[in-house]
A and B are shown apart, each in its own frame.
Chain A
Amino acid sequence: MLFAIFFSVQPLCGQSSSGDTINEGAKWRNWLILQAFPSLNWTIFPSQTNFALEWRATPVLYSWGMTKLDPPWHFFFVNPPERFAGSVELNVTGQIYPSSIGTTHFAWSGQLLGHLPLIEMGEYLGLNVGVATYRFNDSYSTFGVAGLSTLFGFVHWNTKYSPRDRIWMTSLEFRFF
């Protein structure tokens, strides 16, 4: 089915001959549009559960799963294999909570995540592990993170737990580059 998506979308979008130049502006513009796509996040506090929309960016990622032809360091722009074939990344997120947490509707986080390939070099299934620090109002909570990624690294299901604050967080994340 995904193959069908691929075949239906791609040839409509264009074709060219080997050697044509790439439009760098288009590359970043399209990357930016895809970053606007939010992830879904549920934060489970001892007393309430809040849904959030979450946006994320990857300031830096180190990939060790690619050939030496591909540079290991990536800044903001990450092709999916560079992440799912084996990498560690620092990403930052911002959340909007439609129902407030305390006095705020916003939260921020910094996350250090490792991605380990499980099936098909991680393209079909990968393991995510790491730590995350979230800021809600004026307080910080630190979480351990574990989860899985699938569907070419586009879909991540991550669960986070803060033992100190007894907060669970589960998120369905969409990662496009």
Chain B
Amino acid sequence: MSRIPTSTVLISAAFLIFGCGGSLFTRFISRAVEQDSTRMEYIPNKITHPLLPDVGLSILWIGHASVLIQIHDKVFLTDPVFERTVGMLSRRVVEAGIDPATLSHVDYILISHTHFDHLNYGSLSELPKQGKLLIPFGAAAYTPEFGFQETREMKPWEMFEEDGVRITAVPAQHFSGRYGFDIFWTDGEGYAGYVIQYKEKTVYFAGDTGYRDSLFTRIGERFRIDVALLPIAPLEPREFMSRVHLDPQRAVQAFAGLHAKLMIPIHHRTFSQGLESSVMQAQEELEKIVSDVRLQGKVYIMKIGEQKIVDE
């Protein structure tokens, strides 16, 4: 008696869950299965003291969109993900660049949006709690209480200022929700980029965003950006991804619109996200573009776990 209703339920579930994705879904599944069987790359000689006693501006790429930014005495951390998996089963290709236990303090944690690879509950639980957690407006319904000193939602162009630090939430072209189904009632809010300003230094963290000319020129007109942290992946299928993600070419265009001094690519190499031939594809494409248009010195491609002193 129970067999027919059960199969009906399962078929309904399949339609409900996979209806939007079609055959693309099966390609993503195959890629995810392939990726799950690959061994995670470990980082030799990981930095054990990422917070520096005296530095003008340093950038440490932890992997994916997780970046530790230190400007003098202030420490900022973007989209912290230290765990081996996100979304329960998607494994890292390369381990996290630092151990969260090495962070004695973080002043501001910036969350760009609510997707698994950006708002990671386990990683936030591991961080020291004296800092402030900034989330985009609309993300509160996805943000459990982690015990940070303060959690604050920020609308696009809203500023948060204290102690000489100014953090501005800036628009992004992306999508929100967390579980797939919720995109229909969360879209239009719950995602942002941030511009951090402190002691004459300005860092732009784009979060996850697609390309729109006016988006970047507006940000570029408003801020004199020293470092732009721009996502360059996932790439494939190109038309599908380009609506909500920058590829290397678009990232370089965005960089031009921003008039920033230095671009550092992020959101690549860490997880197998799209249908690229390898996790290195985005980086290789960017390297070629940098070489072709002679952007050496303007674009700096970091290794996961590398710390770059931008200004002593």
Contacts and interface: CB of A to CB of B under 8 A. Distances in A.
Contacts of A69: 140, 143, 151-153
B90 A2 contact: yes
Nearest to B83: A120
Contacts of B173: 15-18
B144 A81 contact: yes
A157 B90 CA distance: 24
A17 B215 contact: yes
Interface string B177-211: 11111111111110110000000000000000010
Interface string B148-161: 00011101100000
A45 to B, nearest CB: 15
Interface stretch (A23-31, A106-114, A136-144, A162-170): A23-31
A99 B144 contact: no
B13 A8 contact: no
B188 A70 contact: no
B78 interface: no
B172 A22 contact: no
Contacts of B143: 66-67, 69-70, 81
Interface stretch (B21-29, B248-256, B296-304): B21-29
Interface stretch (B95-103, B238-246, B260-268): B238-246
Contacts of A67: 140, 143-145, 151
- Interface size on B, as a range, is 35 or more
Contacts of A11: 175, 240-241, 243-244
Interface in B258-312: 271, 273-274
B212 A17 contact: yes
Nearest to A42: B2
B17 A18 contact: no
Contact of B188 (A4, A22, A79): A22
28 contacts: A2-B87, A2-B90, A3-B87, A3-B117, A5-B21, A5-B28, A5-B180, A11-B244, A13-B183, A14-B187, A16-B175, A17-B212, A21-B188, A23-B184, A26-B185, A37-B9, A38-B9, A40-B5, A42-B2, A51-B1, A66-B143, A66-B144, A67-B140, A69-B140, A85-B145, A98-B2, A120-B121, A152-B179
Given A18-B174, A124-B88, A177-B182, 14 more contacts: A7-B234, A9-B18, A10-B180, A11-B244, A12-B20, A15-B243, A20-B187, A20-B189, A21-B188, A22-B187, A31-B185, A40-B9, A65-B144, A98-B5
